[in-house]
Amino acid sequence: MQIKLWLQKEFFKGVVSAPPALTWFQNLYWSIEAYGEVPQQSDLGGRLGDDWLERNLMRHLKDEQRHAHLWQELLTHRGTFAPEQLPAWANSVAAFDQSGWLEAMDKLKLYGSVPTAEWIPFFAALHVLEADGVERFQTLAQVADPVDPETARLLRSILKDELFHVQYTHEAVQRLAKGLTNPQYGAQCLQAAQTAYTRWRTAMSPSFVQTMVHQGARFSLPFTVVSSVLGRIGANQPSVIPAPPPIPEAA
Ligand SMILES: [Fe+2]
Ligand SMILES: [Fe+2]
């Protein structure tokens, strides 16, 4: 098994070993799904200049709204909905947003339309986040099955939408980059987003482990040893996502 997947599985085994730790993660997933909800999402029609893109983005935003609702329903039913207790550093979507990767959506809200090239960092960042989300949801669903089948079921019902998000965001980057004088910009953004995210994850990993330990999570000895070594590496990684590659001149 790949070390990354092994670490992820051991990490989530620790998370599901303590109900408060799992609750913390459920609240985090609510906040990630709810982040950037676009109230006027039905107004996207005609504003991206590409029917295919508008249709898929609208479906995507609707999916995330539904996912947030599902998490909220589960947490409220259990009396554990408390996203305000989450630390700001834990939200990976917010980390990309703060560095300008998701600016196209803010500009769309402000100005009504955005130049094509500016959507490329947006979809590249979403692609990287969604792809990682799929991996995490699959692993968590697997380890949650015996302890919390309701959560495992919820994750699996969300997963089919997430797979669609991974696929269309990649296609969106390629589609948008085709029209540029520098079509390599799409691949550059995908690469830069992936590198930035991997570094951010490595840097944040000790904080996630420590927080889970505070919530009562019990990790295996091999995981504790390997993650403390990686934690030392992570200490040298930037914990802030760098800005996206500069937008090329208009075609
Ligand atoms: Fe989602
Ligand atoms: Fe998604």
Q: Give the model confidence (pLDDT) of 145-182 as tens digits.
A: 999 999 999 999 999 999 999 999 999 999 999 988 89
The pTM of the full predicted model, rounded to 2 decimals, is 0.94
Task: Kindly state whether residue 43 falls inside one of the protein's structural domains.
Answer: yes
Give CA–CA dist 121/25, Å, rounded. Answer: 27
Residue 167 Cα, ligand 2 centroid: separation in angstroms? 11
Task: Kindly state whether residue 59 falls inside one of the protein's structural domains.
Answer: yes
CATH code, domain carrying 198: 1.10.620
Residue 160 Cα, ligand 1 centroid: separation in angstroms? 10
Give CA–CA dist 240/153, Å, rounded. Answer: 33
Give the ligand at the shortest distance from the Cα of 168: 2
- Average pLDDT over every residue of 132-145: 97
Average pLDDT, the chain: 92
**Please, what sign has the CA dihedral across residues 127, 129, 135, 137?**
negative
> Which H or E run includes 245?
none
| Non-local CB neighbours of 113 within 8 Å, separated by 6+ positions | 47, 48, 49
Q: How many domains does the chain have?
A: 1
Contact 74, 33 (CB under 8 A): no
Task: Kindly state whether residue 247 falls inside one of the protein's structural domains.
Answer: no
The two three-digit tokens of residue 168, written as one number = 């269309």
Least trusted range by pLDDT, from 39-53, 109-123, 188-202, 208-222: 39-53
Residue 162 Cα, ligand 2 centroid: separation in angstroms? 4
Residue 67 Cα, ligand 1 centroid: separation in angstroms? 5
Residue 118 zone, left/alpha/beta (φ > 0; ψ -120 to 50; rest) = alpha
Give the ligand at the shortest distance from the Cα of 33: 1
Task: Kindly state whether residue 246 falls inside one of the protein's structural domains.
Answer: no
Residue 135 Cα, ligand 2 centroid: separation in angstroms? 12
pLDDT value of residue 37:
62
- What does the angle CA 115 – CA 120 – CA 122 come to, to the nearest 5 degrees? 100
Task: Kindly state whether residue 214 falls inside one of the protein's structural domains.
Answer: yes
pLDDT value of residue 44:
75
Residue-wise pLDDT for 4-28, tens only, equals 899 999 999 999 999 999 999 999 9
- How many of the other CB atoms lie within 10 Å of CB of 195? 12
Residue-wise pLDDT for 60-117, tens only, equals 999 999 999 999 999 999 999 999 999 999 999 999 999 999 999 888 888 888 898 9
Residue 229 Cα, ligand 2 centroid: separation in angstroms? 31
Task: Kindly state whether residue 240 falls inside one of the protein's structural domains.
Answer: no
Residue 126 Cα, ligand 1 centroid: separation in angstroms? 11
The residue range of the domain holding 36 is: 3-234
pLDDT value of residue 57:
93
Type of residue numbered 240: V
Residue 248 Cα, ligand 1 centroid: separation in angstroms? 30
pLDDT value of residue 108:
87
If pLDDT is split at 50, 70 and 90, which confidence band does 137 have?
very high
pLDDT surpassing 60 at residue 41: no
Q: Which chain residues have CB less than 5 Å from ligand 1, an ion?
A: 33, 64, 67
pLDDT value of residue 43:
66
Give CA–CA dist 212/24, Å, rounded. Answer: 8
Task: Kindly state whether residue 165 falls inside one of the protein's structural domains.
Answer: yes
Residue 189 Cα, ligand 2 centroid: separation in angstroms? 19
Task: Kindly state whether residue 239 falls inside one of the protein's structural domains.
Answer: no
Residue 25 Cα, ligand 1 centroid: separation in angstroms? 14
Type of residue numbered 232: R
Buried b (16+ CB within 10 A) or exposed e, 153-192: ebbeebeebbeebbebbbebbebbbeebeeeebbebbbeb
